[in-house]
């Protein structure tokens, strides 16, 4: 009476959430931003300089990262400081690097 479902595959909501998270990580600009923030909190112009994209592109991506709580925002005067908002990200990135660096 349990084999009407598909026990091998997690339920749709979990699958969907996982896919959403990985989609966010599937963009070079967002990866660069997160990597930059791993070391320290930075304002937008610093991030822009670090990742080598336009300020507009960076702001758009920061908005997405913010929405999924992967970065945190702190305002100080006319500056916006961003920092890493999640502890799992670094671990997941390190594991992905392990994979991609293999022969």
* Residue ranges in contact with DNA by CB under 7 A: 23, 26-29, 43-45, 48, 53-57, 59-64, 73, 77-80
Number of residues that bind a second copy (CB under 8 A): 41
- Give the whole-angstrom CA distance, residue 102 versus residue 97: 9
- Closer of 14 and 79 to a second copy (Cβ): 14
- Give the whole-angstrom CA distance, residue 57 versus residue 16: 26
Report what 44 binds from DNA, a second copy, none; CB cut-off 5-8 Å by kind: DNA
- Give the whole-angstrom CA distance, residue 31 versus residue 87: 15
Cα–chain-centroid distance for residue 46? Answer: 18
80 is written with which tokens?
Answer: 């916006």
Q: At what angle are helices 28-39 and 12-25 packed, to 10 degrees?
A: 80
Tell me how far, at minimum, the Cβ of 11 lies from a second copy, in Å. 11
Residues that bind a second copy (CB under 8 A): 6, 8-10, 12, 14-23, 25-28, 31-32, 35-36, 38-39, 50-52, 86, 88-89, 91-93, 95-101
């Amino acid at each position: 009476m349990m084999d009407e479902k598909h026990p091998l595959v997690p339920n749709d909501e979990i699958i969907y959430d996982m896919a959403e998270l990985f989609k966010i990580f599937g963009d070079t600009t967002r990866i660069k931003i997160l990597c930059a923030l791993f070391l320290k909190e930075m304002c937008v112009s610093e991030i822009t300089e670090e990742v080598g994209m336009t300020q507009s592109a960076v702001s758009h991506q920061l908005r997405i990262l913010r929405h999924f709580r992967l970065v945190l925002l702190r305002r100080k005067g006319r500056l916006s400081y961003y920092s890493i908002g999640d502890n799992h990200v670094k671990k997941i990135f390190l594991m992905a690097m392990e994979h991609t660096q293999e022969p």
